Structure 1
Amino acid sequence: MRLNRSVLSAAAFAALAVGATTALAAPASAAPNTTPQKVCGSAYKTVNSAPIGSLGTVYLTYNAANGKNCVTTIRNTPGTAVDMSTFIYVPDTDEYDEDYGRYTSYAGPSYVYGKAHCVSWGGGIKNTYVQVNDSNCAARQEHRVTFTR
């Protein structure tokens, strides 16, 4: 049994080494060049996210110190500027913020005060959009919609 564990350990280590080498060899353009915290601020923690097809992700973040939410849309592969958007809305207070334009990497940040409130948020890249309603509130179940135009 000891020999089998040694062989298995060696095989696992070899697989990890090959995987690490492959991961390190991946081109830099295969990953986004930013994070939600770089866009919104280091005090903002990611509390939710939604993929925008295969193009990227829209992130909902929250800062417990000031009670604000921030949303940003980040492309999987930065490149030539394309239509991008991000929005956040608090129905209880009617507070809304958005950002849209042609961007190479990300849209946003968009901020609202959201402490103890449900929020609706989303974003888009090119012609693919995602919208999340009634998010991050205990009493309601969120509703996600992804669509293309």
Structure 2
Amino acid sequence: MTWPKLIKSATVTAICALAAATIPQAASAQVAAVSHKSPFNCGKTFNANNWKPTHNPAGSIDWQDYNGDGVNGEQVRATAAGTAYFHDAGGTSYGKWVEIRHSDGSRTRYAHLSSMVRGAGGSMSVAQGTAIGAVGATGGAKGPHLHYEQRTAGGSMDTSPTVDGVTVSLGQKKPVKSTNGCGGGSGNPTNPGNPYTPERACGSGYAVIDSAALAGGRTYLLYNAGNGNNCVVTMKSSNIGKSTAVSAFLEPQGERRATDSGNYGYYAGPVRSNAAKQCVRWGGSVGSSAYTSPFEHCG
């Protein structure tokens, strides 16, 4: 079986030795108002382990393997909408981690990520289900898992967090099946009214590494590790099925920009280009709402 079944309590503390002293803690605090989904793709089941008494901070969840399904490398998604902030603690504590601040002031944290869709210091608006990174073992982790927290607006821990309708109290370990992105039958967690997803538009082998919100849609940057190609697509979330102005573009540094623009019902793109070991500028528009990135995602 995988490492979590063999781990000893002392090691657990080392794995998630977080900077708890900087944030007040209250075991009785409860996150209210915002409803959270599982941080994984629709239909995925993983164990939610609320360690006791040695997990730090108390009430945080370690998402681990379930029935032979490995969590390592799984895409991590926002459990609720908000603004995501990206951090890198290096080889200690959280490692690569994301905090999402929600509309009611509460927060969620996602730690030990192998990768993030934006670099440390970046931020972005996210919907429930927006991809923010991938499960790994960075920082103080001794094996791959997702460290997850729900906190109040004041920073106190919810010691019995609820995800996808399952409450996991201190000392409990429960399998949770994700319904994140299952709504609407579209398979698109950030845009259930649109039958297409960025991955479907760009094709097999592409995964979202970044995105930006637009009024009436979202533009996405994807990467195919197999061939070194980037792909950009802009998905509509309003006037779906009606022909309205939408565009997508991709510009490897030092090369000509490739653009797809027109009146489309569902999305613009895909625009693809080989950009291995290159910085790229990318973006798109829906109507008059537009986004242009700096040159980024180099290498």
Q: TM-score with structure 1 length normalisation?
A: 0.70
What letter matches 2:210 in structure 1? N
Which residue does the alignment assign to 1:70? 231
Q: How does 1:74-85 map to 2 (within 5 A)?
A: 74-77=235-238, 78-85=240-247
2:290 to 114, 118, 129: 129
Deviation at 1:30, TM superposition (A): 5.2
Separation in 1 of the partners of 2:237 and 2:208? Answer: 17
Equivalenced residues, count = 119
- 71-80 or 122-131, which deviates more: 71-80
Higher relative contact order (CA 8 A, sep 6+): 1
1:60 to 213, 216, 221: 221
What letter matches 1:52 in structure 2? L
Separation in 2 of the partners of 1:89 and 1:62? Answer: 14
Listed as ranges, the gaps of 5+ residues in structure 1 are 1-11, 139-149
Aligned-residue sequence identity (percent) comes to 30
Change (3 A) 1:27 1:63: closer
What letter matches 2:284 in structure 1? G
- 2:177 is the counterpart of 1:16: no
The structure in which a higher percent of residues are helix is 1
Which residue does the alignment assign to 1:105? 266
Which residue does the alignment assign to 1:143? none
Change (3 A) 1:114 1:27: closer
**Aligned residues: CA RMSD:** 2.5
The structure in which a higher percent of residues are strand is 1
Deviation at 1:133, TM superposition (A): 1.4
**Counterpart contact for 1:95–1:112, Cα < 8 Å:** no
Listed as ranges, the gaps of 5+ residues in structure 2 are 1-161, 167-178
SS at match of 1:47: strand
2:200 to 38, 60, 77: 38
Please list every run of at least 4 consecutive aligned residues from structure 1 whose deviation after the TM superposition is greater than 3 angstroms: 26-30
